[in-house]
Amino acid sequence: MGVDSFEQRMRGPFARLVAANKQADEAVAEILDLAREMDIGDRKSDGVLLEAAEVIGTCEQAKHGQLIQLLAQAERIVEMPRAGLKAWIGAHLDVTSSKADSLADAARRIGAMPELAEPLFSGRVGADTVRVLARTAQAVEGTSRNVVTALTETLQIATGDGVAAANKHVRILEHTVDPGSPEEILARQRAKSYARVSEQDGGMCRFDLLLDPERGTTLRVAMDVLAATWIREQQYDKADPLPHDVRTTEQINAHALVRLAEVFLAASHERRSARFTPQAHYYAPLNPTDGNISAETVYGTLVPRSVLAPPGDPAAHVIHLDGEHPVALDGKKIDTRPTARLAGPEQRAALAFRDRHCTYPGCMRPPTWSLHAHHRVPYSKGGPTTLKNLALLCSEHHGLVHHP
């Protein structure tokens, strides 16, 4: 059957999908309008509201599973690489880069599996369980374990005992799959290590980190050394090395992790082996209308101006804005050499703050990967090396722009 006939056959159910979504939205709007008319303390209809919330929640879970399956089929038919699918998700859906990566990964690993079609479609499986299932598939990939059996076991634990129990099950699975020599096991564990960063409400960052025993031990020892030092100073020296709001074990661990990053940023280029990479965190004053009490990080989150590093501290910079356009770094003008062939360090710092990620449509790679300062008007045609004529691009898309 030809491609055109498949497309024509799909148009019918697609139109019904659009109409059904519109009807559902209208019904929810009507329920909300009625709820707003209810008086506080009127308990006669609150059960209906909670039932409606349950229906919507189940529908949302079902749509998430259906989205995973549709993305998997689109990736299969178009033969789209994972990076391309992630870029499409970032451009067409209102999600963060880490969420787009999670959706693309789930679609690639479990979205096309017929054994999961019914639970993904039913609404019984939420987004958290989908992520656990994707981790299960990743854990057993390339091993002697049967993927379907492993996924079925994880799904049963998630639906019976909850997502937390399923997460624990997968963590154990990730560390025990496919026996072999210690070196082989370590190599597989390194290959499965990851660090994911997701932005939470209010600008807080969640770090989801999985490391092999070797690197995990290195990080834990460094954190424990700092924590032990602080606790010893508190107990024996009667000192107060920690902020007043850092008291629990988890809070001390978080403070230690940040302290390790501060030590790294304060080290010399030679010591940290990172000469070319721009500074990892910058601040820019916001408009005076906020009373100059807030500053904005390179990631777009807000912090009090009181946390800004003192002038000359290599761990942070202050970018001065003219409206939304960076014009100075630490009080020095940014565009000082418009005839230079390459962007200078100050311009790269300003680009990281202004563009936040690769500016190619649909690409969300952060400044870490988007180190190329691209001339909008080519330098060979007289384009100046100024911030207005520069844009951040990752290496892949910089090459694509010049060699389409």
Q: Is residue 251's pLDDT more than 90?
A: yes
Residue 191 — pLDDT band, cuts 50, 70, 90? confident
Q: What percent of the chain has pLDDT over 70?
A: 88
Whether residues 231 and 130 share a domain: the answer is: no
Mean pLDDT of 204-223: 90
Quick one: pLDDT at residue 313? 57
Q: What is the mean pLDDT of the chain?
A: 83
d(CA 255, CA 249): 10
The boundaries of the domain holding residue 368 are 283-402
b or e along 8-36 (b: 16 or more beta carbons within 10 Å of the residue's beta carbon)?
A: eeeeeeeeeeeeeeeeeeeeeeebeeeee
Residue 2 — pLDDT band, cuts 50, 70, 90? low
Write the pLDDT tens digit of every residue in 316-329.
Answer: 567 887 777 888 88
Element (H, E) at 146: none
Whether residues 235 and 142 share a domain: the answer is: no
In a domain? residue 169: yes
What pTM was estimated for this model as a whole? 0.55
DSSP reduced 3-state for 297: strand
Whether residues 325 and 398 share a domain: the answer is: yes
In a domain? residue 8: no
**Contact of 320 with 326, CB cutoff 8 Å:** yes
Whether residues 238 and 313 share a domain: the answer is: no
What dihedral do alpha carbons 66, 69, 75, 76 form, nearest 10°? -140
Whether residues 260 and 295 share a domain: the answer is: no
Write the pLDDT tens digit of every residue in 377-402.
Answer: 999 999 999 999 999 998 888 888 88
Quick one: pLDDT at residue 312? 53
d(CA 194, CA 209): 6
The length of the chain is 404
Write the pLDDT tens digit of every residue in 62-89.
Answer: 999 999 999 999 888 887 666 688 888 8
Quick one: pLDDT at residue 180? 66
Which parts of 292-379 fold into alpha helices (H)?
345-355
DSSP reduced 3-state for 266: helix
d(CA 318, CA 296): 10
